[in-house]
Structure 1
Amino acid sequence: MDRYERIIALDRHLRAARRPVTVAHLQDELGCSRATVYRDIAFLRDALMAPVVGDGEAGFHYDKAEAERFELPGLWLSSEELHALLAAQQLLARSSGGMLSSALAPLQQRVEKLLDAQSGGKRWPLERVRVLPHRGRRMDEHVFRIVASAVLDRRQLAFDYRARTTDEKTRRTVSPQRLTHYRDNWYLDAWDEDREALRSFSIDRIGGARLLDAAARDVDEAALDAHLAGSYGIFAGSPKGWATIRFSAKAARWVADERWHSQQQGRFLPDGRYELKLPYSVPRELLMDVLQYGADAEIVEPLALREQLRAHLQLALANYQDD
């Protein structure tokens, strides 16, 4: 057992013992060496301030009067939980291009202290946990903090938004609903007060953000899910139809294990290919993802979506025509 489990077991044995417990008995119960027993006793007594009395000759026990007032610290982690926290620490430190590092620095310091306390001075090989952000966009940390505050404080938010497709700048007043982290980028799902509709905004395109005094309008969770997660992609909207995509037998080994959408339907065909069906509204993102598979993917239906992909491929091919 690891140190956490030994300390828990040691506390249990000393608390239940009616007479001093010998080191030999603790060795058997904890499955460790004599030296480890002494180290754990010292840690329990000196670091955790447990009322341990006795010595190695007569045995150890708790002072009965003090034992009733002593409890182990509230947050202890098993070795598996500690390792998971270690991985989460690296994700926090390295994801989003470091954008959250200063905003969450106090939490980061607490995590590091907890890891140090439970590692007993052991050095953890942090370089063995790799986090590789993919296509993350640059974002203003100050804007992110204001947006996050609006979401959590349930206050309306005003900001300038520059649409990526048209580069047009508009002033928006919204009731924030959710923060969404999608493909290494952050989005704000909100009720647009002027347009009276749900919209998703890429936070890296938000500027001049300002908290308002007005309380945010709360949209029902079911309505949020139906609109924002009903179709494929981040700017989902209500589904307009279902797309059927067939992947080659080679690509099927990957696609069959991927989750493209919560309502997707997939099946292997007799020849080893894989057929995927999923709802979509705005085809832009779906087309880009299908294009990543090149000749290993084919949109079967609807015909309009198939023709859109054909047009994309023809335009791309035109870039490689000889002069």
Structure 2
Amino acid sequence: MDKIERITALHRILKAARYPVTVKRLQEELGCSRATAYRDLAYLRDALMAPIEGDGEAGFRYAADETDRFELPGLWLSSEELYSLLAAQQLLMRTGGGVLAGALAPLQNRIESLLTAHAGVDHWPVERVRVIPHRGRRLDEASFRSVASAVLERRQINFEYRARSTDERTRRTVSPQRITHYRDNWYLDAWDHERDGLRSFAVDRISNARVIEEPARDLPDSELNQHLASSYGIFSGEPKGWATIVFSAKTARWVADEQWHSRQEGRFLPDGRYELKVPYSASRELLMDILHYGADAEITAPAVLREQAKSLLELALSNYGR
């Protein structure tokens, strides 16, 4: 068991413990020496700011009033997660997310210490990691801060929403669940009280936002994941079908390594082409991604999605005359 695995296991042991855990028990469960157990306890307490209390005689545990609140940062377990953290920091700075940046500020020194320890250098070169935006939409920073505040403070928020599809303006009161960054744009996943259901709102379409005192209604993570992450892209709802797309042998070298959806299915065909199957609930975003590949992608199923793509291509061709 390496250090990362031991720290993770140590955290689980202390978080579940109702009474102090002896060093001998920690040695047995972690499979390490007494000295290593003490070093891991010190690292968890000093570097990760865990609320450890106790001593070598009585044993160790998490402070009762902090047990539920403390979690491992989680972003230091792999190189991908470390990079994601740095990317998120730049992302927040770029979008003017003062509230989120302020909430993360207490973690900054802890995060940098972890990065430095993993890199084996005296200073982690944060400035050498870049996040380049692509087709991000401008948003009102005041509205973004109100949305972020409502999410973090678990309070309801009232705002004016201008739907991009219909250009209709409506007033909404929602219980925010999550703020999501997807394809360089921010979305608010929330429970809409007037419509009695989960909805996703593009933050750049929100204006005149006001956080109200009413506490937000919290939904279980399982329900949020099922509704908001079960179908293709940012569109919510249960999948209505599966799309099958066949890519040319040339494009297959790229597409085979791409993650379009957590439940996707893919295989190489005998002639070198690549067949990809993804679930989807709304076709608009999926069609945009497929048409991005032009002649190197063909929808083979379902027939209705194939016809929609055909109609879009014909309309595009009509813009160039005969």
TM-score exceeds 0.5: yes
Q: Which amino acid aligns with 2:315?
A: L
Give how far 1:263 is off.
Answer: 0.9
Q: Tell me the alpha carbon deviations over residues 21-40 of structure 1, each in whole angstroms, 9 at most, x when there is no partner.
A: xxxxxxxxxxxxxxxxxxxx
Q: Which amino acid aligns with 1:74?
A: D
Provide the residue aligned with 1:98 in structure 2: 94
Provide the residue aligned with 2:303 in structure 1: 303
Provide the residue aligned with 2:131 in structure 1: 131
How many residue pairs were aligned? Answer: 250
In 2, distance between residues paired with 1:88 and 1:224? 22
Any gaps of 5 or more consecutive residues in structure 1? 1-70
1:267 aligned counterpart, secondary structure: strand
Q: Tell me the alpha carbon deviations over residues 232-281 of structure 1, each in whole angstroms, 9 at most, x when there is no partner.
A: 02013111111111111111111111111111111111111111111111
Q: Which amino acid aligns with 1:100?
A: G
Across the aligned residues of Structure 1 and Structure 2, the Cα RMSD in angstroms comes to: 3.3
Matched, 1:281 2:281: yes
Matches within 5 A, 1:81-120: 91-92=87-88, 94-95=90-91, 98-100=94-96, 102-103=98-99, 104=101, 111=108
In 1, distance between residues paired with 2:83 and 2:218? 35
Give how far 1:309 is off.
Answer: 0.2
Q: Which amino acid aligns with 1:245?
A: I
Contact 1:240 1:280 survives alignment (8 Å): yes
Q: 1:213 to 1:277 in 2, by over 3 A?
A: same
Provide the residue aligned with 1:246 in structure 2: 246
Matches within 5 A, 1:148-167: 148-167=148-167
In 2, distance between residues paired with 1:221 and 1:208? 29
Matches within 5 A, 1:187-226: 187-226=187-226
1:132 aligned counterpart, secondary structure: coil
In 1, distance between residues paired with 2:93 and 2:306? 36
Contact 1:93 1:101 survives alignment (8 Å): no
Give how far 1:130 is off.
Answer: 2.6
TM-score w.r.t. length of structure 1 = 0.67
Give how far 1:213 is off.
Answer: 2.0
TM-score w.r.t. length of structure 2 = 0.67
In 1, distance between residues paired with 2:125 and 2:110? 16
Provide the residue aligned with 1:8 in structure 2: none
User: Percent identity of the aligned residues?
Assistant: 59
Q: 1:169 to 1:97 in 2, by over 3 A?
A: farther
Q: Tell me the alpha carbon deviations over residues 117-171 of structure 1, each in whole angstroms, 9 at most, x when there is no partner.
A: x79x978766643321111111222212221222222221111000111111100
Any gaps of 5 or more consecutive residues in structure 2? 1-41, 49-75
2:234 aligned counterpart, secondary structure: coil
Larger Rg: 1
